[in-house]
Amino acid sequence: MTLDQIRRGPIAAALSLLPDRMTSPEAEVQMLAIGLQESRFEHRHQIGGPAHGFWQFERGGAVVGVLTHSASRDLAKGLSAARGVAPTSAAVFDALEHDDILAAGFARLLLWTDPRPLPAIGEVQVAWDYYIRNWRPGKPHPKTWAPLYAQAMEEVRHAE
């Protein structure tokens, strides 16, 4: 999928199911950059690993986190219901591999759990730190972040 297809498709659809205050260019850039970093929007099941969805959520990690965090749990239940998925870690985890809208919504909700504001567009290092803090990747690849972030930023700026 192209970044335009991801942004106009699953991301836009997921954001439409969440409160308007969650929609912003900063959120879209961060979501696109993280999706690129995690899966290049090519792999819905982690190669050699347990994570599911383009944003590569693990059942006992981010899935449980979003379903239980005070800032996201009610919204996660509503999003799950809207997608016809039981709001349990097992059901959501299984669905993330095939439901790109649910995956995008859970990615946005994970960002929502961070009490710090989303990084301003163009703050590459702050965006990297935000990603690391929230996704806690086992094997981070800092060298790929800046060029992937630049692609995400360009996509959102082009669309404005």
How would you classify residue 133: left for phi > 0, otherwise alpha for psi between -120 and 50, otherwise beta?
alpha
Domain ranges of the chain: 3-41+54-159
Q: Per-residue pLDDT tens, the chain, 160 aa: give them.
A: 899 999 999 999 999 999 999 999 999 999 999 999 999 999 999 998 899 999 999 999 999 999 999 999 999 999 999 999 999 999 999 999 999 999 999 999 999 999 999 999 999 999 999 999 999 998 899 999 999 999 999 999 988 7
